[in-house]
Structure 1
């Protein structure tokens, strides 16, 4: 929008009509004081400013406008019929004007200048937009690079830990064999097997996330008995974690359509996380039921919990709860993989948690093939 400032009504009206005839949006002000009020309220691309005005001349208005942060990019063209000497033209440029035109005005030249200023304004606006987007992208590259470096550091540590343990147990196993101590040898072998299983889980997670990134994570969708899958998962984890009591609440009578192995992977992740992040407790509740054609499954622990402000990040790739990242091992990708699995089942995943009161992770998925394959 263009602001015309002139104390003569006939000048305002005539110039306004000419500019409007060329499809410019125009506003007017009959004095310098009125112009300053309008500049504070509105955004203008260009101000056409008469120099010779009572009370406050054009130079004073321009100097005042230059102090307004919101108008710092606004172009000013001075118009003058009286002050046409070089010293006044110089003063106009020093006051912040980008051009100084003497009257009588050649309207065609004025229109060309206005169109040029508009073109420059539009180019600057686009350049600023590009610059802002580039800055955003640079910050996103920096953040991604930081996350990548952090992940590599964590992954290296997490993979090295079980390898070091396995190496140590193999050395102890060799000594026990040399001493013909079968009981101790069996004990070391079992502990080495546990560490190898941890290593295997880490590698599987890394392979899964690689497949997710490349769009190659395969799903074997078919109808299966979810009740059996849940019961078998609980039994397996109960045997390997006898210090915990895993209580199942609810049953599933209906058959479910989906990838049984992948959904079992989600349930295992929920339960193992509940065990890991609930030290000093011994109770885990798994609730399962079917309502309105959807399978609902939730695993609740009574452990350390998660602050509310971190709930929306918990399923992000590589995210680890800040307060616990140094106290518990893990790559920060298990829940991200779970969320991808549930998403592929056209379902929803979430968490309810209160610090020091425990966490409940849950998901819902449609049980029918039509709803899952709809997308």
Structure 2
């Protein structure tokens, strides 16, 4: 938009009509004071400013405008019928003007200059956008590089822990075999199996992430009884965590069309997290059903909760919530995998949480 500033109404009207005919959006001000008020409220590509005005003259207005950070890219053209001497033209440029045109104005020349300033403005705007995008890309790559290094460190530790445990239990098993201690043998064998399951889960997550990154995560879409799947998962999870009461509310009441294994994987992950991040708690709530053609599932706990500023990041690759990350194991890719699975079902996944009061993770996908 262009701002025309002139204390003569006839000049404003005629110049406004010409420029609008040229396809430009025009705003007007009849004094320097009015112009400054409009500059504070609106953004202008160009200001065409009459020099000889009562009150604040054009030079004073230009100097005031140059002090505003929001107008640093705004071009100013001075118009003057009286002050045509070199010293006044020089003053115009020193006041922040990019051009100085004497009256009477050659309309064709003015239109050409206006078009040129618009073109320069657009080029500068695009350059600024490119610079901003480049800086953001550089920063993103630095975050990504840091996260990758952190992930490698965490992954190495997480994979090493169960391996070390299994190695220790195997040594104990050898001793128990030599002693003929069957009960101790069974106990060590069970603990070894638990550690091997952890190792298997970690490797499965890493493989899934690799598939996602390479675009090879395929979905096996078919109808299945989602209520039966939910009940089975809850039963298994309760057997593994007998101290937890998992309350189920609602049911789908119909088959849904989705990848059963992947939807089960999401549900297991959400339940596992709810239990993991609820130390000292004994209750988890699962709510499910069909609403407006969408199957939905919610998992709610009364655990640690997640700070608001971190809630938008929990589905990012390698991200781990800061407070509990030092207390609980994990690679920081479980929720990322969940979000990718739901996204590939063209669904939505999100979280609502309050620190100290718990979290509710919920997702929905088309039922058919």
For the residues of structure 2 that align with 1:45 and 1:116, how far apart are their CA atoms? Answer: 12
CA shift digits 1:21-46 (9 cap, x unpaired): 43444444444444434434443333
Deviation sequence 1:263-311 (CA, Å, 0-9, x none): 3333433333333223334455556667887766555545434456655
Q: Which residue of 2 aligns with 1:326?
A: 326
1:205 and 2:216 matched: no
State the match for 2:276 in structure 1: 276
Aligned counterpart, 1:61? 61
Per-residue deviation, residues 312-366 of structure 1 (Å, max 9, x unmatched) = 5444443333321111111222233334444555655555655545555455556
Distance 1:70 1:193 in 2: 65
Greater Cα offset, 240-249 or 116-125: 240-249
- In 2, the alpha carbon distance for the partners of 1:311 and 1:94 equals 51
Q: Superposed, which structure 2 residues align to 1:12-161 within 5 Å?
A: 12-161=12-161
Contiguous gaps of at least 5 residues in structure 2: none
Matches within 5 A, 1:143-292: 143-177=143-177, 181-226=181-226, 228-244=228-244, 246=246, 257-284=257-284
Q: How far apart, in 1, do the equivalents of 2:55 and 2:236 lie?
A: 90
| CA offset digits 1:55-101 (Å, max 9, x no partner) | 44332232222223333332222334443333332222212222233
CA 1:70–1:263: 2 relative to 1, 3 Å: closer
Alignment RMSD: 3.7
Secondary structure of residue in 1 paired with 2:79:
strand
Distance across 2 between alignment mates of 1:249 and 1:28:
64
Counterpart secondary structure, 2:47: strand
Alpha-carbon shift at residue 260 of structure 1 (Å): 3.4
Secondary structure of 2:217's counterpart equals coil
Q: Residue 100 of structure 1: SS of its match in structure 2?
A: strand
Cα 1:37–1:213 change in 2 (3 A) is same
Give the secondary-structure state (helix, strand or coil) at the position aligned to 1:166. helix
More displaced, 230-239 or 268-277?
Answer: 230-239
State the alpha-carbon separation in 2 of the partners of residues 247 and 30 from structure 1. Answer: 71
CA distance in 2, matches of 1:148, 1:289: 38
Between the aligned partners of 1:182 and 1:305, the Cα distance in structure 2 is 44
Shift, 1:204, TM fit: 0.5
Q: How many residues align?
A: 368
Q: 1:296 to 1:91 in 2, by over 3 A?
A: closer
SS in 1 for 2:280: coil
CA distance in 1, matches of 2:285, 2:23: 70
Query: With structure 2 as the length reference, what TM-score do the two structures score?
Result: 0.80
Distance 1:188 1:229 in 2: 32
1:249–1:131 distance in 2 versus 1, CA, 3 Å:
closer
In structure 1, distance between residues paired with 2:104 and 2:249: 90
Distance in 2 of aligned mates of 1:238 and 1:339: 25
CA distance in 1, matches of 2:43, 2:294: 54
- In 2 relative to 1, CA 184–118 (structure 1 residues): closer, same or farther, beyond 3 Å? same
2:35 and 2:133 map into 1 onto residues whose CA distance is: 34
Q: Using a 3 Å threshold, how does the CA distance of structure 1 residues 174 and 71 change in structure 2: closer, same or farther? A: same
Q: 1:95 to 1:198 in 2, by over 3 A?
A: same
Larger radius of gyration: 1
Residues 182-234 of structure 1 deviation map (CA, whole Å, 9 limit, x = unaligned): 54444333322221110110111111122233332233344445555445434
